[in-house]
Amino acid sequence: MPIIQRLIGLGVDLSTKKALKKALDIIGLSPENIDRLYIELKNEIHRENFGKVAPKYKLVFLPQCLRKSRKCKAKLGEEGYDCIACSKDCRAAEIKRLGESAGYRVFIVPGGSMVSKIVAKYRPKAVVGIACMKELVMALDELRVPTHAVELLKDGCVETDVDMEKVRAALAI
């Protein structure tokens, strides 16, 4: 049985990375990458409830590193970078367009603390998070609504990238 189904089948708390570690101890497993397992597990656990929420009640968070950061003309405000579509091949702008045309509110944020403030303000019923693994794990530990997370293809904090098929799939759940 795949590990995620085994863990869900245990019927124990899996709401945080710490809880996941305890569950893994119960079944005597120590996977190579617990962070990735945690992200995949959360996506699976939340899939059904996440899918029941209409886009207008969901928020989408993108990391600032998906911008063309060296020439980005967006100003940073209280709700992240205000994209002015200055570049035709900017990943952040592409995802923002895609999300907004599907009815989502999309934010390009510099980090997790701004995510917390925006979530407290808008009180979404579900959240799509696109980020590096470390940021995703921190956000998934904190958020108390159904989530769907998409990990970046590369880290590095500057002009990163993401698998657009996974982003489209997240926006279509």
Which residue, 83 or 143, is less far from ligand SF4 as judged by CB? 83
Which x/- pattern, by CB under 6 A, does the window 59-88 give for ligand SF4? --------xx---xxx------x-xxxxx-
Which residue, 24 or 90, is less far from ligand SF4 as judged by CB? 90
Which residue, 108 or 127, is less far from ligand SF4 as judged by CB? 108
157 part of the interface to ligand SF4, by CB under 6 A: no
Q: Are 145 and 125 in contact (CB under 8 A)?
A: yes
- To ligand SF4, the closest distance from the beta carbon of 49 in angstroms equals 31
Query: Distances in Å between the alpha carbon of 93 and those of 2, 19, 100, 128?
Result: 37, 36, 10, 16
Alpha-carbon distance of 151 to 169, in angstroms, equals 13
Element (H, E) at 75: strand 75-77
Which residue, 68 or 105, is less far from ligand SF4 as judged by CB? 68
Number of residues located near ligand SF4, criterion CB under 6 A:
14
Stretch 92-111 residues interacting with ligand SF4 (CB under 6 A): 92-93
DSSP 76-139: EETTEEE-----TT-HHHHHHHHHHHTT-EEEEESSHHHHHHHHHHH--SEEEEEE-HHHHHHH
Alpha-carbon distance of 173 to 166, in angstroms, equals 11
- To ligand SF4, the closest distance from the beta carbon of 94 in angstroms equals 9
Residues in the site for ligand SF4, rule: CB under 6 A? 67-68, 72-74, 81, 83-87, 90, 92-93
